[in-house]
Structure 1
Amino acid sequence: MMLKLQWYNPTIKYQPGKQMELADTLSRSTLADYTSEVETTPVSMLDFLAISSEKLIQLQNCTKEELSNLIETINSGWPDTRAQLPISLRPYWDVRSEIAVSDGLIFRGMRVVVPPSLCPRMLQLVHESHLGIVKCKQRAREVLYWPCMNADIEETVKNCARCAEFQNKPAPQPLMPTKPPEHPYQEVGTDLLYYNGKHYILTVDFHSKFFEVDELLDESSTTAICALKRQFARYGIPQILRGDNGP
């Protein structure tokens, strides 16, 4: 396309759809004698649920008892603002355009909205294989939905003793001791500390283990540098200064 247009110098201008009468009319106007001969087959959302008859009846009954206000709101229409909703329905406000009622159940797309009383059982089924947080979320998002579902799954996995016992842990690394320097004040370690309402900076000589502490007026880098300069003026500038990568 770019090769065909290189001979021209086109100017692109935006035209609102309401001002494009021809295209707008053709896209909306239908023929008066047009009849569709395509046969339609009714499809039920229950055909896509892998659930037994007993569990389906239980789910429908719990939905009718616990989410009747939500069903009524979906059928009658949502209010203009979130504040006009009852407190129990406000968690569904952000997904109001995605949920619908079908066959006695509430669906968010292809996912079933779970009543509050069945959420613990669904959490147990989702975490039955101890797959971890990411896999459990992925498994639940395929068929289920309830407000704060991700947070509930995270809390369930984190509090699982078996997951904590067999979770992947990095292999313990051997200790790597620092070789002692040959001369005093050749290598120095430093850190900030807080004690009794005051801030201090501490330096330790790796050769003699001699340490010195200076009080700081604040924790700014300028104040810490000035304190270290005073110490280096007394004992000499070290070749290596070690810290804990603090701010």
Structure 2
Amino acid sequence: MLRTYMKRGALPDAPTRKALPESVQKWLKQWRRFQLRDGMLCREVMDARTHEIYFQILCPTERRKEVWQRYHEAAAHAGVEKTLSRIRRFFYWPCMEGEVQEFQLGCAVCSLRNREAPRAPLHPIKVSYPLEVVALDFLTLGRPTDRYQNILVMTDLFTHYAWAVPTKDQTAQTAVHALWAHVIQTFGCPAGNGGVERLNQTLLHMLRTLEAEKQQRWPEFLPELLQAYNNTVHGATGYAPSYLMFGRHLRQPVDVNLGVDPEPLCHDLKGWVRDHYQKLSFAYEMTRKNKNSAATQNKRVYDKRAQALPLVPGERVWVKDRDRQGQGKLHPGWSPEPHVVLERVGDTGVVYRVRPEKGGREKVLHRNALKLCITPATDNYSPAPEDNQEVQTLVEPPFYCVVPNVPALQDGLPDLRRSTRSNFGQPPARYRL
């Protein structure tokens, strides 16, 4: 149609233009720039930076995605702006930027390559007494010449009392042995969880304060650093972790060296129990208030950047892959095998049970370890697992809730579907600024 008008050398009259499709009307707004060059419709433009005149080929609708794909792949899957700048050099169509953005969202290579994980709303772990939940994680110092390459860091989430154990590896057997020797034998068996990132950073900072010679023998000084940490007031509770754990301020070597010794309090057994109970009851109540206030503030700040949409059964997702398999920093960060959401687990709304699309072992993962899959669905679906099929429960950090033991689905794999939300790619309304 545009070619016909160009050959005539004149635009249609106003009533005819109004009756034309909206897409054609958008083309006609650029009428004065159109030219026929070697039998091709082109648009004359001037580069604002170089003042160079060049001509853009008017790209028909059916060829736009092909043009984008070729330039996008030639640019090593560059971002929207870089890909668009290369396309604009030789091609033009109305609303180019919006369409290129849609094409980019559908690029599986770019989506898998982007290591940035979606952020679900924060659900802080609620604890109300000492040793209810102990968080643990391995901290790697990255010093290949050291005998001990790692530190198993453990902390009680209520008192923030910490333990740190040098280890030669990060195996489950090593973690269980250290947990048994340093926590369970003395205090009993608490519930387990992840989330000791702040303690890791604090411990690294304390290790950096050692002199260079002492850093070569850091395992010898680790207990001293832990003692300093446990006897210093923690910002989240307002109390020293050792006070909340044992109900008294522990005497430190520096206290003895400086001759500052608190006056001993003499009690009979009943008097000591009564005094101990009163002090800890007051301290625990204040700790709960302080922790709740800190958790509310942390959630408010964290949720401002929470953009991960809730998932529904049948939705296809990619799963975060932490096994780099020798690829190092070239590893994309996500497994290319699509998974299917089976159900939501628990009442937090951020934990899901998923299974590989082609069949396999189920996993229970946090929303932050799942990304919406944009590749076309396959038609070869495997049958539902048998009743005795093993269900693998993987807890990917960050993990903000305890996963209950929910039985596997018995009705088979739900029908696969792709998301048809109108707000795709946007945070839920309650999280928008």
TM-score by length of 1: 0.42
User: 1 or 2, which has the higher helix percentage?
Assistant: 1
Q: Which has the higher contact order (CA 8 A, sep 6+)?
A: 2
